[in-house]
Each structure stands twice: as structure tokens, then as C-alpha cells.
Chains A and B, each alone.
Chain A
Amino acid sequence: MFHAKKPSSMNGSYENRAMCVQGDSGLVLTTDPKPRLRWTVELHDRFVDAVAQLGGPDKATPKTIMRVMGVKGLTLYHLKSHLQKFRLGKQPHKEYGDHSTKEGSRASVMDIQRNVASSSGMISRNMNEMQMEVQRRLHEQLEVQRHLQLRIEAQGKYMQSILERACQTLAGENMAAAAAGGGGGYMGNLGSSSLSAAVGPSPHPLSFPPFQDLNIYGNTTEQVLDHHNFHHQNIENHYTGNNAADTNIYLGKKRPNPSSGNDVRKALLMWSDQDQDLSGHQPFDDEHRIQIQMATHVSTDLDSLSENNCGELLERLSPRKSPLSPMLIQGMNSPFG
């Protein structure tokens, strides 16, 4: 039931302009030249209830809302605009969990909701929904992380086993060939034992940075976490001791980046200071292989070797999309005559 509100208790900005009267229907209308409906808390609550009954703001229409609310004097026009505002108020928060949002848009979500829902009850209801949505997404992300870890492990185990088998087969063949007096493969001097020593107890071939050190949550959830005063600790602790005991997926720090492409001079200086493991064609003997096997697990500072960004060179050369000049295109049809 609506009752008249005294002008003094209304929104300050209207005080000077409007005088509100309560009509017969109980609606509060302003008396300025263009009578505007004032959406009081009670009226809005009724509106929200009606919308909920009708299955949400997307399903409800002004007509049906009008019927359900059953308030005399409430016109389609009023409901249309109010419903639109209400929908807008709801939209941004629904998308919260899906995209990363910046500070600005998050603030505006709040603003819109405050405009639409003048009661604090409304705001807290929306916040709950938001929280639930975010928590759901977060939970899903954690699941994905856990699954990915297990899958990578499984793949690594498989690859290791096939590599072992292949090496042993090859070593076996070579030993047989050597026994028969043949030349054997290039691995002629390799016993299977030394190679499986390299392949076997070495750290897992697929070693990845630990998940807890990574920013897997991305911007959205971090902001949300900050906003809701969640503690990162809670989530990280979820993962201590989550590693498989036998395979050594230690998941160290995130890999360092290679030096940025164009600083060739710096890279050259660094190059001349260091041992060049890559120099020359090495006959691929067992020692080299073992080195490589071990070395894949170690991110060293030799990472700076990859300088000179090919991509940028090509970009400078020609705009990628355009085909080359007519002169060059000439004769492109017949290959290799």
C-alpha cells in the first residue's frame, strides 16, 4: 500500500522543483508540468516481484508486468522505461564472470544498480548473485588447473616410456650388429645401460612452472578477490602437496623470456661471453644426448641466444598482406617447368 510521501523526505534534487501528490490509485506523481512517476521503494519492490514471477527481466514484458502488478494508473510507458533501466542494471553483473572487467566498468555496475534499486536490500541481493557466479567460475578454473596437471603428467609418462623403449631397441640392434661385426648405427659405442640411466631417473621431461606461482586467475578474478577481500592464501594452500609422488613435476617458476628480439648488440655481447654449446655440427653421440636430456629441465641464462626477431624483420620488409610487385608475380604460374 502506498502512502504519500512528504516532499521533504524525497530525493533532494527534486525538492525545489516538484511537489508530489498522491493520486487516487496511490501512486505518487510529481506536479511539475510533465507528471512523472516516482518509483518509490515499495513500488519498485512490487515491480521486482512481478518480474520475478514472470521469469526474470528478459522474459517479462511491460504488458504482463502491468497485469501482474495490478496498480492503477501505472502505464505501459512507465513500465517500459523502468524495465529497460532494470535490465541494464542487471546485465553488467551477469557478464562479470565471463570477461575481464576493468575498474571503470565495475564501478559503473555499482552505479547502475544503485540507480535502479534504491533499497539496500536490492543491492545485496545482486551482490550475492555476483559472488556466486564468480565463485562458480573460480571453482571451475581450479578444476581445469588440476586436470591439466594430471593430463600433462600422463602424457609425459607415456612419452618417457616410448623413448626408453625406442632407445633400448636401438641399443639392442646396435649390439647385435656389433656382435655380428657390422658397422652398426651411429650409436655403436653406446650401451643401453648408460642411455636408460639418462632417460630413466632424470626429472620428468615435461616440467612446468608450479601453478601456484602463476597468475592463472587473470584480471577478473584478482580484482574480484581484492574487492571481496578474499585471501589468496586460501586458494594457494589448496595446491600444496598436490603433486604426484613418483613423477617429478615440480612445476618451477615461470620460464624466463628470451631477450627481446631487436637488441642484437646486447645479445652478441652476451654470446661472446658464454660457451657456445651450439657451435658446430656435433656428431650426435651419447654424451651430447644425455646433456640435452638433462638440459631441457634447466632454464639457463643461455636463453638469451634467440635474438633477432624474424617476425619483425619480415614486417619491415613488406606489408604482410600485400602480394609482391607485378614484376615478381610474373611467371608465378608454371612451377619447375
Chain B
Amino acid sequence: MTMNHPYDDFPHLLFSNNTATATSTSSCVEQHDGISLDMDWDCDFHNLIESMMSDKGATTESPPLLPCYHGQEGIFNSSSTGSSMADELDHDVEAGESKGLRLVHLLVAAADASIGADKTRELTRVLLAKLKDMTSPNDRTNMERLAAHFTNGLSKLHKEANVQRQYGPHQHPDHVYDQVDVMLAFQMLQNMSPYINFGYLTATQAILEAVKYERRIHIVDYDITDGVQWPSLMQALVSRNTGPSAQHLRITALSRATNGKKSVAAVQEAGRRLTAFAESIGQPFSYHHCRMDSDTFNPSSLKLVRGEAVVINCMLHLPRFGHQPPNSIISFLSEAKTLNPKLVTLVHEEVGLMGNQGFLYRFMDLLHQFSAIFDSLEAGPARGFVERVIFGPWVSGWLTRIAITDDGAEVESVASWPLWLATNGFKPVEVSFANRCQAKLLLSLFNDGYGVEELGKNGLVLGWKSRRLVSASFWASCESSE
């Protein structure tokens, strides 16, 4: 397979002795974690890199990575000498694009360095500092802002590694956003992209079809978040039968101990809201909360009623700021199978689960995923807010997650969830014409560029341009009756 070394394509990124940049770069140095970066980037940095590279046993074919600033005067150096507006703009255009590429290179290099041996720790620090200089969450291009979030995420990992992870893999975001902010941002995200609603609405449609003739419905929800998925289901149930033929809905929401007390409170609050909503539209409804104390799910802790149809709902695609260990999901699905569910809905992001792939590969994949999502978001004044509140922590969460490879406990050995389900006693449930129709309709409300593909017979995938973003698939336990 012909595989380009990323740096082969961009020789201009090599070390260049451009003294004109000395003034601009020296203004960007800062004290950082006790290591003085007060150095001439052109010379010292190069030497630093070289020494580190040789320690690492690098081959000479790989050129040392260096940020090259010759195109950057237009943006950073306001003292660019006497160039006309047009020239500056030209610079900007090239600079914008080449800056984007440079950022990607730096990110990849930083990611690579971050998992290397001790000696590259300094390199990581240096690269991250550079990235911080070059990016900000308020920059004008998608790539710059995205790079800022990735830089933050990597920095956090780097810091945590230094602290020897005494707090475990959990998140300690440096900026905890207020609950209201998060909710507001979440709501705005739904207006800007079909990403979230695709999962919710597709799953809900499948559920409605599966339980059409059931008197009692029991949904076991792995991750209810704010309960946003369920009002539309309730509305549909109410509109299709009321009075004596009303279907009774029961939802049991799980909370996982690993997410702490906050998650318990959140689950209970969601229950209160859903109950209020159900009452307001006249849908018979009851809510239960099931605590998972360890990462193992015990079906006997559920309250079951005879004659009810059980549905397992597993939304894994939502922006998660905490760590969601795959073992807990595996345990949940395996145990839930014993309940003979009529339907299992699974929605997940198309990233992250890569079996035995290494960190760097998954890092690139993550970068691709978030780039696609960034590109796909509708623009608007609210966008910066959503990016800060949702995407920053989301990216950090993912970076932490993929950084944890097989220490033993947290192996992400699942190559893909659909594959796991297919090989662990679940059979596929076909996607209906109405569901496909609904998905296309939903997409038509947003940017061009989204597409829906079929995922075998029992799933749909939402994609942006050529990148798959999120998939929804439907299953039933092999023993359940049709």
C-alpha cells in the first residue's frame, strides 16, 4: 500500500532560515511549566528536535518537524512591512490554508510525541506550547478552532500523565460549564446539526413499529441524559391510541456509579421532567431509576411486569464528557439479552472503537471525525458558544478514552458494536421504509452534504460528505418472538 509520510508532501514545512520571522516568533514565547521557551525557534528548536529525534531512533528519512512561518506575516505580524492590502490578503489565503495543514502536522506530531518514551515529553510540551500560540477557540477557520480544542485535550492528557493519573481516567475539566449552559448548548447543537436527532428519531421510530400492538412497553435506557429522546415517543403513542386502547409506557433509566453522584441526580431529574410531560399530554407513564453500582448490570434489579414488551435503548453517540468504559456497555447488553427484549436500539459514533489499533491511528481518526462534524455544523452566532461548551470537553473526553490502551482493565477490544451484537446472540431487525423516509426528511432540513446510507438490512448511517458520523442499528434477542 502506498502510504505517504505526511511530511513528504510538504517539503516547505521543513526548517527554513527565515530571519524575518524572528521578531514575530520571539513575541510569542512564554514561560511554560518551568521550561523557558525563550529561544530562537529557527536554530535552537531545530537542534532540540534533532537531539530528541535521534534519541528516539528516528531514521533520517523523516525530516524534522518544524513550523514554518514564512506565510504567516499576514496574520500574526502586524508590522509586516509596507505590503498592500491585496498582498496581505493573498498571504492570508495561502497562510490560512497552509496554516491549517501546519496545525494538523503539529497536532499529529504532538500526539505522537505524547505517547513516546520519557525523552519526548519535552518535545510534547514544546509542540503543545506552539500549538497553543497558533490557535484559539475564537479563530476564524474551522481548522484553527478545532486544533485549539485538540491542543487543550492533548495538554490535559500531558498534564495528567505527569501527575501519574492518580485520579484515574475521569475528567477534571479546567472549565466546568454551568448546567444551564450545557443544556442550552445542547439544544443549539440540535438546531445546527441532525447528529443528535438522527439517533433519537430513528431509534424512536423503530421502537414504535416494534411495539405497535403491545399493551405495555418497558424501555430500559442505558444513558438517558436529559430524557430528550422520549417526548416524541410519548407524543406518537398518544396520537395513535388513547383511552382504553392506550399503551402504557414504563422507562427504567440507568445510572452508573462511575459517573458519580451527579449522574444519579441527573437521572432522577430527567424522570421528574418526563413524568410531568407525560401527564401534560395524557400518556400513561411510570419511571424507574436503576443504579449500576459497579460496571456490571444486574437485570434482577429491574422491576418487570408480566406481559410487557421490553426494549433496550442504547444511545452511545452523545457528547460525553466523562469516561464511558466499554465494559459497562458490554455487560449491560449481555445481561439485557436475558430479558428477551423485543427490540434493541443501538446508536453510536463512527469513531473510536478500533479493536487493536494504536493511539496515533485512532487520534487521526478522531481528528477526521471531528473535522467532519465541525464542517457540517450550521454556522451562526451561537456556534462559538456550542463549540466551547460542548466540543471542547467532548474532544478531551475522547482523547482520554483513546489514550487508555491495554493496561488490562480498559481494553476497547470491540471492533464495532454491530459486529459485537451480531456475534453475541442478537439478530438484526429490519429498518422500515418509513424510518428511511424519516431520516432523509430530517436531513433535508439541514445543510447539503449530509447523507443517509443503509447499514446492512438493520441499520442506517448518517454521514457528512464521505465521512460516516453516526449509525443506528436495530436488533432483537435471538429467542424473542416476532
A interface with B by C-beta (< 8 Å): 98, 137, 140-141, 143-145, 147-148, 150-155, 157-159, 161-163, 165-167, 170, 185-186, 205-209, 211, 214-216, 218, 254-255, 257-258, 261-262, 264-265, 267-269, 271, 277-281, 284, 289, 291-293, 295-296, 299-300, 302-311, 313-314, 316-320, 322-325, 327-337
Contacts and interface: CB of A to CB of B under 8 A. Distances in A.
Contacts of A319: 3-4
Most B CB atoms within 10 A — which of A186, A209, A215, A323?
A323
A256 to B, nearest CB: 9
A84 to B, nearest CB: 28
Contact of B235 (A151, A255, A330): A151
Contacts of A311: 368, 371-372, 375, 464-467
Interface stretch (B38-46, B91-99, B299-307, B336-344): B91-99
Given A280-B138, A308-B142, A255 B375 contact: no
Given A140-B433, A155-B231, A271-B140, A278 B97 contact: no
Nearest to B359: A332
Contact of B277 (A144, A158, A255): A158
Contact of A310 (B117, B146, B180, B447): B146
B445 A209 contact: yes
Contacts of B433: 98, 137, 140
Contacts of A292: 184, 188, 381-382, 385
B137 to A, nearest CB: 8
B34 to A, nearest CB: 19
Contacts of A313: 97, 100-101, 104, 143, 371
Interface in B175-195: 178-181, 183-184, 187-188, 190-191
A308 B92 CA distance: 12
Contacts of A158: 227-228, 231, 273, 277
Contacts of B384: 277-278
A167 to B, nearest CB: 6
Nearest to B8: A325
Given A317-B105, A335-B161, A337-B161, 12 more contacts: A140-B433, A144-B438, A155-B228, A163-B184, A166-B179, A264-B92, A268-B93, A305-B383, A310-B100, A314-B367, A314-B368, A322-B3
A145 B441 contact: yes
Contact of B117 (A162, A205, A305, A331): A331
B405 interface: yes
Interface in B57-116: 57-59, 61-62, 89-90, 92-93, 96-97, 100-101, 104-105, 108, 112, 114-116
B438 A205 contact: no
A287 to B, nearest CB: 13
Given A205-B191, A334-B115, A310 B372 contact: yes
Contact of B140 (A268, A281, A314): A268
7 contacts: A98-B433, A150-B236, A185-B178, A261-B375, A313-B143, A314-B364, A320-B364
Contacts of B116: 331
A271 B142 CA distance: 14
A305 B441 contact: no
Given A216-B441, A335-B115, A306 B359 contact: no
B440 A264 contact: no
Contacts of B9: 316-317
Interface string B156-190: 01001100010000000000001111011001101
A300 B441 CA distance: 23
A330 B380 contact: no
Given A306-B375, A334-B115, A324 B434 contact: no
B56 A331 contact: yes
Residue among B197, B200, B204, B380 facing the most chain A CB atoms (10 A cut-off): B380
Nearest to A292: B382
A269 B96 CA distance: 13
Contacts of B117: 331, 334, 337
A130 B173 CA distance: 59
Nearest to A145: B441
Nearest to B269: A162
Which one of B4, B187, B190, B226 has the highest number of Cβ atoms from chain A below 10 Å of its Cβ? Answer: B187
A322 B1 contact: yes
B45 to A, nearest CB: 19
Contact of B180 (A145, A159, A163, A205): A163
A216 B444 contact: yes
